[in-house]
């Protein structure tokens, strides 16, 4: 049995967090330094951006969790620490400063940064802020979630409880991400904590499998970022028998992990820069799962479809167009398209051709803040879902003066 609970990344036993303003960001009302801490060393796993240009923190984190262990994660917003000659040195310094303050090993620290690319990160504000950051550790998932935000307008966090071999376990996550988001992964940082006992090898297996159907199926603007990272820490404080192989216990963990990650995906996509609507493209009837994924991502990435959704225009031809150039093996004469929201359903395309429908109803359906683009290819059993958002005037405005 699984239940949504409060607490975010502090819901699991043995985890505390905090977020403060240390001075990286000029706006003193915005927190810019976050910390997540486990009472004991935890199993650790992470996945990273596929961009060849990677932030320095990624190289440092990869090296630090190569042994499958970590005890803390520190993250700053306002500066990506990317494309800087001293980037690795600064990232390592952040880990060392935190480790010295907490009495842990610097190699047990995960480090992350998000913000402007190509500007040197001054470590002094971080050094001055770490004592306050550590002193304020507590049940503060919300403060950590706020401190990792850049152009996000909402905090993103969720936690659930679940059972493994009769033992209650908890898993929670926070995320940031609003723009520069495109598979694989997105301009996002995701931190997940759990008190479930699971080996680092199985944790990595679970994470790598999960992201293929969650974070890699999300797009806001077609730009793959340089600092993307999803990290999971599992400290075993729940006391369940350690998960070391596939089986019912691993399946229960995977289901709980997926519940958290899907929620965070929807939260990120719905909070896309300038967005007014969450778009969910659900594809069924594909020849293969890969074909379904290809179609879903093509539709969700289509600028013309995204613009039509912003205007509440049931221009299904743009959806069909995106299916056609996706590269998937599709018989376009079998394609069916519906739009769905809280206001109802409207069938707009059948057998690859338009059908009569009420423009008035379609308008009402597409004016809702959450819209499903439902596609049935009628050619197999492959299924997939992708998430995105509409394309608005504000997206250009936000990114036109991002550095200023």
Q: Are residues 213 and 354 in the same domain?
A: no
Torsional sign, CA 50, 229, 400, 120 = negative
Q: Are residues 324 and 177 in the same domain?
A: no
Q: Are residues 152 and 242 in the same domain?
A: yes
Average pLDDT for 281-291: 98
pLDDT at 294: 96
Percent of the chain with pLDDT over 70: 94
Provide the mean pLDDT of the chain: 93
User: Catalytic: which of 82, 107, 151, 187?
Assistant: 187
Torsional sign, CA 328, 263, 193, 74 = positive
pLDDT at 185: 45
Q: Are residues 249 and 311 in the same domain?
A: no
pLDDT at 396: 73
Q: Are residues 330 and 239 in the same domain?
A: no
Per-residue model confidence as pLDDT tens digits over 226-236: 678 899 999 99
Q: Are residues 265 and 287 in the same domain?
A: no
Torsional sign, CA 291, 292, 293, 297 = positive
Q: Are residues 67 and 171 in the same domain?
A: yes
From 223, 249, 270, the end of a domain falls on 270
Q: Are residues 355 and 250 in the same domain?
A: no
Tokens of 215: 């974070």
Q: Are residues 244 and 334 in the same domain?
A: no
- Number of domains the chain is built from: 2
Q: Are residues 289 and 266 in the same domain?
A: no
b/e map of 17-48 (b: 16 or more CB within 10 Å)?
bbbbbbbbbeeeeebbbbbbbbeebbbbbbbb
Closest to 242 measured CA to CA, from 197, 195, 204: 197
Tokens of 152: 């996000």
| Residue that the structure tokens 């896309």 belong to | 272
Q: What are phi and psi of 195, to 5 degrees?
A: -95, 5
Work out the pLDDT band at 309, boundaries 50, 70, 90.
very high
From 270, 292, 313, the end of a domain falls on 270
Per-residue model confidence as pLDDT tens digits over 337-394: 999 999 999 999 999 999 999 999 999 999 999 999 999 999 999 999 999 998 888 7
Q: Are residues 230 and 282 in the same domain?
A: no
CATH number of the domain enclosing 231:
3.60.70.12
Q: What is the C-alpha separation between 157 and 365, in angstroms, rounded? A: 28
List C-alpha distances in Å: 387 to 6, 72, 86, 236, 401: 25, 30, 36, 32, 26
From 270, 304, 319, the end of a domain falls on 270
Is residue 269 helix, strand or coil? helix
Taking the CA atoms of the chain, what radius of gyration do you get in angstroms? 22
CATH number of the domain enclosing 337:
3.10.20.340
pTM tops 0.85: yes
Q: What's the DSSP call for residue 286?
A: E
Can you give the residue range of the structural domain that contains 356? Answer: 278-400
Q: Are residues 264 and 301 in the same domain?
A: no
Torsional sign, CA 81, 87, 89, 91 = positive
Q: Could you tell me if 111 and 60 are in contact, meaning their C-beta atoms sit under 8 angstroms apart? A: yes
Q: In 235-317, at which residue ranges do the beta strands (DSSP E only) sit?
A: 278-286
Q: What's the DSSP call for residue 89?
A: H
Tokens of 189: 């940082």
Active site residue 150: no
Average pLDDT for 41-60: 89
**Exposed / middle / buried, residue 400 (Cβ in 10 Å: 0-12, 13-18, 19+):** exposed
């Amino acid at each position: 049995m699984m239940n949504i609970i409060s607490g975010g990344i502090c819901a699991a036993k043995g985890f505390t967090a905090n977020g403060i303003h240390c001075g990286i960001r000029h706006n003193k009302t915005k927190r810019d330094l976050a910390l997540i801490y486990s009472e004991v060393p935890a199993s650790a796993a992470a996945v990273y951006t596929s961009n060849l240009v990677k932030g320095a923190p990624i190289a440092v984190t990869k090296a630090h969790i190569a042994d499958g262990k970590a005890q803390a994660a520190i993250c700053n917003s306002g500066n990506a620490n990317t494309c800087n000659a001293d980037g690795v040195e600064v990232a390592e310094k952040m880990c060392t400063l935190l480790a010295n303050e907490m009495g842990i090993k610097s190699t047990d620290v995960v480090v992350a940064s998000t913000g402007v690319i190509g500007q040197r990160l001054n470590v002094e504000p971080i050094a001055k802020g770490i004592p306050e950051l550590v002193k304020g550790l507590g049940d503060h998932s919300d403060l950590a979630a706020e401190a990792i935000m850049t152009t996000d307008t909402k905090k993103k966090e969720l936690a659930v409880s679940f059972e493994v071999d009769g033992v209650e376990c908890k898993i929670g996550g926070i995320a940031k991400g609003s723009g520069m988001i495109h598979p694989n992964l997105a301009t996002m940082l995701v931190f997940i904590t759990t008190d479930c006992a699971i080996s680092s090898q199985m944790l990595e297996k679970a994470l790598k499998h999960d992201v293929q159907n969650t974070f890699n199926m999300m797009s806001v603007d077609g730009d793959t970022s340089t600092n993307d990272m999803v990290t999971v820490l599992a400290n075993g404080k729940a006391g369940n028998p350690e998960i070391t192989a596939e089986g019912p216990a691993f399946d229960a963990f995977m289901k709980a992990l997926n519940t958290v990650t899907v929620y965070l995906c929807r939260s990120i996509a719905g909070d896309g820069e300038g967005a007014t609507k969450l778009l969910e493209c659900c594809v069924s009837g594909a020849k293969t799962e890969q074909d379904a994924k290809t179609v879903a991502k093509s539709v969700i990435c289509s600028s013309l479809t995204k613009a039509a959704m912003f205007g509440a225009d049931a221009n299904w031809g743009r959806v069909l167009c995106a299916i056609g150039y996706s590269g998937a093996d599709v018989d376009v004469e079998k394609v069916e398209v519906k739009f769905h929201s809280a206001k109802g359903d409207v069938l707009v395309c059948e057998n690859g051709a338009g059908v009569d429908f009420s423009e008035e109803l379609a308008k009402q359906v597409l004016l809702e803040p959450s819209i499903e683009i439902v596609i049935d290819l009628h050619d197999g059993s492959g299924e997939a879902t992708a998430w995105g958002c509409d394309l608005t005037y504000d997206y250009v405005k936000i990114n036109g003066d991002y550095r200023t």
